[in-house]
Amino acid sequence: MAESLRPLMGDRKPDANREAHTSSCEEGWPTGEPAKHRIFDDAENTPDGRPGQRRSLAFRCAAALFLCCLMLCVLRACVPGSSVRRVTPWQHPADSPGSASADGLYLVGVGKADITGPVVEINLMGYADPKQVGTGLRQRLYSRAFIVGNVEKPEERFVYLVLDTQSGDTAIRYGILNGLKDLGPEYAVYSHHNVAVTGTHSHAGPGGWLNYLLPQITSKGFDRQGYRAIVDGALLSIRRAHETLQPGHLSVGTTKVFGANINRSLFAYLANPEEERARYNASAGDDGSVEKDMTLIKFQRASDGKNIGVLTWFPTHGTSLYGNNTLIAGDNKGVAAYLFEKQAREDPTAARGFVAGFSQASVGDTSPNVLGAWCEDGSGEMCDFETSTCGDGRSQSCHGRGPFFEADDTGARSCFEIGRRQYEPAWALYRQLQRSPVPVRGGPVRSFHAFHNMTGFSFLLPNGSEARTCSAALGYSFAAGTSDGPGAFDFTQHSGNENTTSPVWKVVSHLLKDASPEQRACHSPKPVLLDVGEVHKPYDWTPNVVDIQAFRVGQLFIIVSPGEVTTMAGRRWKEAVRNASAALLAAEPPRPLATNASDPTTALASPVVVLGGPANSYTHYITTEEEYAIQRYEGASTLYGPHTLAAYINRTLSLLSYLGAASPPPPSHETLGLFPPDNTNASLSFISPVIHDSPPLGKRFGDVLAGPLPLYRRGQDVRAVFVGANPRNNLRLEGTYASVERLQVRRGEDEAEAARLPERWRRVRDDADWSLVFGWRRTSELLGTSEVEIVWETEEWAERGVYRIRYFGDAKGWRGDVKGFEGVSTPFTLV
Ligand SMILES: [Zn+2]
């Protein structure tokens, strides 16, 4: 296994820890480990584009970039295992009886792998605040892969990836597709058409991996280490799903999720037609301003009927952890997946290596800060409804409040709670589908993907009038940020314009490019602040070429959106696809029944349409035209003008026939010849590497500097401080920086005696666990000294007993050599 993983590592040195841990997945928990401890082990858990910019040009532009950086850095906005059981990849038996997929038999596979990039010294991606720099790790990040295929035509399949990242991305996607090619002919079945790279929209992951310059600015450019972690982990997750691909069934259901999202731009939402809003106004608790529906697909293998995973869609922003959080985590979706997978380990109907994907949906105007946006200025007032400003007329003190906003914990408790509020209904629905399956059935497994240039795209609206999109630009309210992450300067949502803004921003926008009168007219009524789509130096700042993609299995249709779609925009997109797909299904001949089918129904069910994203790239926001006219943050961040949504719908519908049972495959990308640039090797980087690590005089790496105390009560925080080294030296993928070990004492045995036996200490928490927090701080830049603080926020349900904390570090010597070391705390008792 370790050997076969190597091709996935690219040019990175093989990560011994990843390999070792992977093999432990195969072999399971150490012998003798009681089943109850297993719940803590989360381990199972240009391509031909525009020519890259020459470096000389890049460096000529570096000075200009820095100037931009200085000013733009203050932009604060929302830019921006599987069991790996080795089975022979499934082959369709030549004598398969009848039409197997007619009774809902598909190829199904799931996989999960670690994608945690550097957890310190790198800017976090999402809030675009250069001051928000990683200081440690609360929860490892993962790629979760779901593959669905046609048993009759195994080449018909798709991969839906859910990454614990802010979004999908063009460079990441190129990296994954190239990596799949390198895996050999067996993986040639995966291509642009059938691979979707979605992000959960967590704002608590490291940045620096994105393809375009704008989101790279606050991270000081491109970070290759973090980029490789995501690409390699995504590939490993696909590989694990691919290797376990086998016949199975899909079941689909929908449930309501309450208390996990509100609309943060209600003023803009209310601009949508009243009769349209009324269609979704179900009750006081479900007034339609956000979608409360969660759709869930249950994956069940046919061989023994065990469930292997779930994939869900529900919209709420990954902003439960606030802009002052500096610990890496998967935000509320990461929590929901963690809780589901933990519970699945105790479910007898769930297979080992169960994977739970919590995918983002129409997230654009949603917020997990469900108590609303308040002025944190002592006034006790809510922020202004239209502009999200406070008494001083500015947006800086306006903050969304999560359920536990009073806790001074950078949003951690609220984050866990919003995750729990998604996990619980998802689990209930999973159990219900186990009792009463609603099968995905009939029809083929199809997919399409196309690149589309939004610059000057003319098309007809449904009412027959002509519309046009424009190259990307951001409006003034973009710089105001949102109540989940307010902007830093004098921008307000909705009311920003050229006359009321500070001279600084006028200079920045002119540095970029003065938007032409045509460009201004095209984006109207958006006042253009940053004409990013027309600037190509040193390389593209934002995408103009976008991804249009959709998948189909049976009656389920998945729209894969590259932007953050608002609630109503998502509904319009889904409705258009639902209508077109219903027509598609009606035109398909009834499928023959499987030989053993007892259900006499041959007609397909009505289509179920979901929307996942931000995926494949990051094209900021997609609002309705009415919301666009309001120009709050989401409207100002809708890149291609007022007809952005209509253009996405138009392009999706133009390709939808490729999801039909009898349609030919979609045209190859090489034929069409349009590719967005791959800036992986063209991107600038001003991120400094680790120079070296040293222990303080008289100390060794891993020595305990403080704590823990001898005794704790459950609910208290246990702390231990070690002589540390920079965790960027080794990402410890598929491994851990920290663990909690519990002493196994036999009846009548002396505790101190047992504690001397290494085999009696069993790991019960690691980096995958929300409650175990790994923190790192540099104590001397010059000497290269640093400390690690590991905190176990003991749970009320933790077992009583004797524990200790272990730290896994890696130190870099002056010659660049990296050596691993460990530190172990003294034992402590938890009562
Ligand atoms: Zn967002």
DSSP assignment of 388-442 = ---TTS-STTEEEB-TTTTSSSTTHHHHHHHHHHHHHHHHHHHHHHHHS--B--S
Among the ranges given (86-90, 114-118, 440-444, 490-494), the one the predictor scored with the smallest mean pLDDT: 86-90
Asked whether 663 and 657 are in contact (CB, 8 A), the reply is yes
Asked whether the predicted pLDDT for residue 355 surpasses 60, the reply is yes
Asked whether the predicted pLDDT for residue 745 surpasses 90, the reply is yes
Q: How confident is the model at residue 508 (pLDDT cuts 50, 70, 90)?
A: low
Q: Characterize the bridge pairing of strands 157-163 and 195-199.
A: parallel
- Kindly report the number of other CB atoms within 10 A of residue 10's CB atom: 16
Among the ranges given (202-216, 587-601, 727-741), the one the predictor scored with the smallest mean pLDDT: 587-601
- Give the tens place of pLDDT for each residue, 621-663: 999 999 999 999 999 999 999 999 999 999 999 999 999 998 9
What value does the mean pLDDT take over residues 92-99? Answer: 35
Asked whether the predicted pLDDT for residue 51 surpasses 80, the reply is no
- Domains of the chain (ranges plus CATH)? 42-688 (no CATH), 704-830 (2.60.40.2300)
Separation CA 248–CA 304 (nearest Å): 10
Rounded to the nearest angstrom, the distance between the alpha carbon of 531 and the centre of ligand 1 is 20
Biggest alpha carbon distance in the chain? 85
CB neighbour burial string for 712-723, b if at least 16 within 10 angstroms, e if fewer:
beeeeebbbbbb
Cα 795 to Cα 737, 745, 770, distances in angstroms: 20, 21, 10
Asked whether the predicted pLDDT for residue 68 surpasses 60, the reply is no
- In DSSP terms, 581 is beta-bridged to none
Q: Which residue has the tokens 């376990």?
A: 244
What local confidence, expressed as pLDDT, does residue 654 receive? 97
Q: Percent of the chain at pLDDT above 90?
A: 74
What value does the mean pLDDT take over residues 70-99? Answer: 37
Q: How confident is the model at residue 595 (pLDDT cuts 50, 70, 90)?
A: very low
Rounded to the nearest angstrom, the distance between the alpha carbon of 740 and the centre of ligand 1 is 35
- Range of 53-62, 144-153, 585-594 with top mean pLDDT: 144-153
Q: Which residue has the tokens 């470096």?
A: 55
Separation CA 336–CA 341 (nearest Å): 9
What local confidence, expressed as pLDDT, does residue 76 receive? 35
Rounded to the nearest angstrom, the distance between the alpha carbon of 231 and the centre of ligand 1 is 22
Asked whether the predicted pLDDT for residue 16 surpasses 70, the reply is no
What local confidence, expressed as pLDDT, does residue 501 receive? 55
Instruction: Provide the angle, in degrees to the nearest 10, between the axes of the packed helices 224-243 and 170-182.
Output: 50
Q: How confident is the model at residue 257 (pLDDT cuts 50, 70, 90)?
A: very high
Asked whether the predicted pLDDT for residue 5 surpasses 80, the reply is no
Amino acid at site 65? L
- In DSSP terms, 722 is beta-bridged to 704, 788
What local confidence, expressed as pLDDT, does residue 477 receive? 84
Rounded to the nearest angstrom, the distance between the alpha carbon of 365 and the centre of ligand 1 is 8
682 dihedral zone (left: phi>0; alpha: psi -120 to 50; beta): alpha
What local confidence, expressed as pLDDT, does residue 99 receive? 34
Of the two residues 529 and 193, the one the predictor is more confident about is: 193
Q: Secondary structure of the chain: what % helix, strand, coil (to 5)?
A: 25, 25, 45
Locate 399 and state its tokens. Answer: 């903050």
Separation CA 410–CA 423 (nearest Å): 22
DSSP 186-232: GGTT--GGGEEEEE--BSSEE----SSSGGGTTTTB--HHHHHHHHH
Rounded to the nearest angstrom, the distance between the alpha carbon of 564 and the centre of ligand 1 is 6
Asked whether the predicted pLDDT for residue 304 surpasses 70, the reply is yes
Residues with catalytic annotation? 367
Residue 775 C-beta-side C-alpha neighbours within 13 Å: 13
- Range of 87-96, 597-606, 621-630 with top mean pLDDT: 621-630
Rounded to the nearest angstrom, the distance between the alpha carbon of 5 and the centre of ligand 1 is 34
Cα 660 to Cα 439, 444, 515, 550, distances in angstroms: 19, 8, 42, 12
Q: How confident is the model at residue 37 (pLDDT cuts 50, 70, 90)?
A: very low
Amino acid at site 653? L
Rounded to the nearest integer, the mean pLDDT of the chain is: 86
What local confidence, expressed as pLDDT, does residue 13 receive? 35
Rounded to the nearest angstrom, the distance between the alpha carbon of 199 and the centre of ligand 1 is 11
What local confidence, expressed as pLDDT, does residue 693 receive? 98
Rounded to the nearest angstrom, the distance between the alpha carbon of 347 and the centre of ligand 1 is 34
Nearest to 40 by CA among 343, 484, 383, 287: 343
What value does the mean pLDDT take over residues 190-195? Answer: 98
Q: Characterize the bridge pairing of strands 327-328 and 133-137.
A: parallel
Asked whether the predicted pLDDT for residue 256 surpasses 90, the reply is yes
What local confidence, expressed as pLDDT, does residue 27 receive? 27
Is 336 in a helix, a strand, or coil? Answer: helix
Asked whether the predicted pLDDT for residue 98 surpasses 80, the reply is no
Separation CA 225–CA 228 (nearest Å): 5
Rounded to the nearest angstrom, the distance between the alpha carbon of 566 and the centre of ligand 1 is 10
Separation CA 173–CA 231 (nearest Å): 8
Asked whether the predicted pLDDT for residue 698 surpasses 90, the reply is yes
